[in-house]
Amino acid sequence: MAMVSADLAVRNAAELCTMQGPEHGKGEAVLGSIAAGSVACREGRIVWAGPDRTLSAEVEMLPGARVVDASGCVVTPGLIDCHTHLIFAGERADEFASRCEGVSYLAIAERGGGIGATVRATRAASEDDLVRLALPRLRRLLSFGVTTAEAKSGYGLSLSDELKMLRAIARLPALQPIEIVPTLLCAHAVPAEHARSRGAYVDLCVQEIIPEAAKAGLARFCDAFVEQGAFSLEEGRRILRKGKELGLAPRLHADQLSALGAVELAAELGAATADHLESISPRGIEALAESGVSAVLLPTSTLFLKQTRFAPGRALWDAGLNVGLATNLNPGSAMTENAALSLSLACLCNGLSPAEALWAFTRGSARALGLGDRLGAIASGMQADLVVHACANHRHLAYHLAMAHVETVIKRGRVVLERGPGSCRCVEVP
Ligand code: NIG
């Protein structure tokens, strides 16, 4: 076998999770784990992965190549946070306090809070402000091993403010290492000035906001929140069809608080994803499975909104759907960058195993975003996005609740986060 040459190697991981297990497998097999595994990269791509004992026979390390020692650690692909509302101004801690006293998310929205409160703050912010506010959130995501994040607009809800949000999103890749996938979410809520002219706002989306965002190349997806208090099925259909016609793949916030038919709409449109799904019915699961829509689990928001019903992750997985998992970072329903908490909740509340949750946050999320040909797995030809976690096996990632074990993060073959040697490991106190 011809040798490959490498400028970076991550060596001797206690568990190298390649995500190359059997398709639609269950349990730990999905991880395709290699014990004492290593991975070699060149110019930002993976060129080899396998048992460390065969590395020296198959990989030539180039002069000056970097070697990361992963002994005693778990190595995974970079996490892919496929649903975030990363860009926003202001905060809603007061609403959190009200919810703790029993006031519902919908009741807060009806009295002028909720998404509307963040819209007011975001409209008042400049594009520069939005960029500045997003950077620490991205640093926190990186500290949990996130190397790719989707980011939505949706707190502008006017032509100029939606484009301002998308332009802020477009500036982020030059300023920090996380790769960003932009989504237009002008159908997040009907803005206050259109409360009595909903149709005019939908017209604005269809006739101006979506065409302008598409023309400027500022979004890859068009998303809609189809829910009581947000958009009706017919409004969502019109908006998402327009996006699709202009090359923006549809996504839906579907069946979050109630089952209005959003999941069926996702199936009808051939959407890329249906996200949330706390209220999905067995028939809805079948519809998604038949149409090949990816399901995205967002359990941190289910917890944060004190909903008693979590999305049926087990049933979605068993029905053969591609399942993604994300933080849903946003100021109202999931004020967290804690990807580890999502992994734990996916196990404790959505019914996945630790291995399946990890698969969903890497391979499943890459596929949900249409990036599965280059992200979310450790195999020759894939982008070299890797995370070294200082724990003995993948189960600890979900088991140690909300804990970041991340020691080293590599993006496109470059070390972008490095903690001091052993800083994440437990130290025995004599
Ligand atoms: O995905 N459900 C709609 N959108 C967000 C919440 C946004 C907000 O409350 O600001 C979500 O949960």
Tens digit of each residue's pLDDT (9 = 90 or more) over 319-373: 999 999 999 999 999 999 999 999 999 999 999 999 999 999 999 999 999 999 9
Q: Is the CB of 262 under 6 A from ligand 1?
A: no
User: How much is the pLDDT for 424?
Assistant: 44
One-letter amino acid of 86: L
- pLDDT, average across residues 150-170: 98
Rounded Cα distance, 254 and 295, in Å: 10
Nearest CA to ligand 1 atom 5: 333
- pLDDT, average across residues 109-135: 96
The two tokens of residue 26 are 């269950």
Match 């076998």 to its residue by tokens. Answer: 1
278-284, long-range: CB within 8 Å, 24+ apart, which pairs?
278/302, 278/307, 278/309, 278/310, 278/311, 279/255, 279/309, 280/254, 280/255, 280/311, 280/312, 280/316, 281/255, 282/315, 284/255, 284/259
Choice from 253, 258, 276, 336 to test ligand 1 binding pocket (greatest atom count within 8 A of CB): 253
Atom of ligand 1 nearest to the CA of 118: 10
Q: What contacts 362, CB < 8 A, 6 or more positions away?
A: 17, 19, 76, 77, 78, 79, 80, 376, 377
- Cα of 56 to ligand 1 centre, how many Å? 50
Answer yes or no: is pLDDT of 73 > 90: yes
Q: Is the CB of 413 under 6 A from ligand 1?
A: no
Of the pLDDT bands very low, low, confident and very high (cuts 50, 70, 90), residue 311 is very high
Q: Is the CB of 153 under 6 A from ligand 1?
A: no
User: How much is the pLDDT for 142?
Assistant: 98
Neighbours of 61 (CB within 10 A): 16
* String of DSSP letters for 14-67: EEEE-S-S-TT--GGGGG-EEEEEEEEEETTEEEEEEEGGGHHHHEEEEEEEEE
User: How much is the pLDDT for 428?
Assistant: 37
Answer yes or no: is pLDDT of 101 > 90: yes
Rounded Cα distance, 359 and 324, in Å: 8
Neighbours of 234 (CB within 10 A): 11
Q: Is the CB of 331 under 6 A from ligand 1?
A: yes
- Cα of 374 to ligand 1 centre, how many Å? 29
- Percent of the chain's residues with pLDDT above 90: 94
Q: 16-71 pLDDT, tens per residue?
A: 999 999 988 888 999 999 999 999 999 999 999 999 999 999 999 999 999 999 99
User: How much is the pLDDT for 26?
Assistant: 84
User: How much is the pLDDT for 27?
Assistant: 86
- Cα of 105 to ligand 1 centre, how many Å? 10
Rounded Cα distance, 387 and 283, in Å: 38
Nearest CA to ligand 1 atom 1: 328
Q: Is the CB of 152 under 6 A from ligand 1?
A: no
Helix 262-269 with 233-245: angle, nearest 10 deg: 20
The two tokens of residue 301 are 């928001």
- pLDDT, average across residues 240-269: 97
Choice from 333, 335, 336 to test ligand 1 binding pocket (greatest atom count within 8 A of CB): 333
Of the pLDDT bands very low, low, confident and very high (cuts 50, 70, 90), residue 423 is low
Which residue has better confidence, 424 or 30? 30
Answer yes or no: is pLDDT of 430 > 70: no
- pLDDT, average across residues 98-118: 94
- Cα of 307 to ligand 1 centre, how many Å? 14
Provide the mean pLDDT of the chain: 96
Nearest to 142 by CA among 178, 170, 169, 179: 178
Rounded Cα distance, 4 and 381, in Å: 12
* String of DSSP letters for 195-251: TT-HHHHHHHIIIIIHHHHHHTT--SEEEEEBSTTSB-HHHHHHHHHHHHHTT-EEE
Q: How far is CA 411 from the centre of its chain?
A: 16
Rounded Cα distance, 344 and 395, in Å: 10
3-class state of residue 77 by DSSP: strand
* Helices and strands (H, E) in the chain, number of each type: 17, 16
Answer yes or no: is pLDDT of 282 > 90: yes
Nearest CA to ligand 1 atom 12: 333
Tell whether pTM > 0.85: yes
Answer yes or no: is pLDDT of 1 > 90: no
Answer yes or no: is pLDDT of 425 > 90: no
Nearest CA to ligand 1 atom 11: 333
